[in-house]
């Protein structure tokens, strides 16, 4: 029995655009609620949310019976972090703050077993191989890992085409918040200069034959789908809860 097929990775190649949601409340219960609402993918955020390996694993397990794909964003592109998340059965990972093709190449090596990479070999202890029950897991694992790299600086946007062209990178996610800050528009990702940079980045990624992605409010997310974005997150659990609670209380102000 080979490694499980990665439906999300295949969908990035064949379409349609995959619609996702950020989950940052670090709650398997909340994540399961979101996963059962029809989203194609959920980002379990370890960069800006209070998640760790244990809470990430619990959320992956909560998503198991659903059709939503777990996308695990690590805090930083460290080989040991990726190794732990992969062994815990994450098949799709998102690595933030990638500025150069050389950094992207290092992440490709981090998620692949030798001789094609440097992922540590310990599958018999991991949920990914069903603790060794998938006897040929390591023979097929490289093919089913989906590596998404996040570009979110002016330098990264300049290098977007070269980063996307790296063999083993499956998708390139544009981070509007950090990008706008780096471009001098902190808190204003809709500045014309930022929008132009994102548009150019999506075109460069598509030209390299890879899938562009972005997080954008639902009111205007369709513009990026129309431009060619293949995986688009349209909200975040913490924001949705905060706004809904605020609106409810305001009704009785």
CA–CA gap between residue 45 and residue 73 (Å, rounded): 5
Is 246 a known active-site residue? Answer: no
Q: Give Cα separations from 182 to 93, 133, 191 (angstroms).
A: 24, 47, 12
CA–CA gap between residue 23 and residue 200 (Å, rounded): 28
Contact predicate 27/240, CB 8 Å = no
CA–CA gap between residue 151 and residue 203 (Å, rounded): 14
User: What letters, b where the CB count within 10 A reaches 16 and e where it falls short, cover 78-105?
Assistant: ebebbbbbbbbbbbbbbbbbbbbbebbe
Contact predicate 128/136, CB 8 Å = no
Q: Which of 48, 116, 130, 246 is catalytic?
A: 48
Q: Which residues are catalytic?
A: 48
């Amino acid at each position: 029995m080979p490694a499980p097929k990665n439906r999300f990775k295949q969908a990035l190649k064949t379409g349609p655009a995959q619609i996702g949601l950020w989950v940052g409340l670090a709650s398997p219960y909340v994540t399961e609620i979101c996963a059962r609402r029809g989203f194609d993918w959920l980002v379990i955020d370890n960069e800006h949310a209070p998640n760790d390996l244990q809470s990430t694993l619990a959320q992956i397990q909560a998503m198991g019976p659903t059709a939503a794909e777990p996308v695990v964003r690590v805090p930083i592109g460290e080989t040991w972090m990726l190794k732990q998340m992969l062994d815990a059965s994450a098949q799709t990972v998102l690595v933030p703050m990638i500025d150069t093709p050389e950094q992207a190449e290092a992440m490709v090596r981090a998620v692949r077993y030798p001789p094609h990479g440097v992922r540590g070999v310990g599958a018999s202890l991991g949920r990914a191989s069903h603790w060794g029950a998938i006897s040929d897991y390591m023979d097929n694992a490289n093919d089913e890992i989906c590596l998404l790299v996040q570009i979110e600086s002016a330098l990264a946007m300049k290098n977007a085409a070269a980063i996307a062209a790296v063999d083993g990178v499956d998708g390139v996610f544009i981070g509007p918040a950090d990008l706008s800050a780096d471009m001098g528009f902190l808190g204003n990702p809709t500045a014309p200069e930022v929008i132009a940079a994102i548009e150019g980045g999506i075109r460069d990624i598509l030209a390299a034959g890879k899938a562009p992605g972005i997080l954008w409010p639902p009111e205007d997310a369709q513009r990026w789908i129309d431009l060619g974005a293949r995986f688009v997150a349209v909200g975040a659990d913490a924001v949705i809860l905060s706004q809904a609670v605020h609106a409810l209380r305001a009704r009785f102000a």
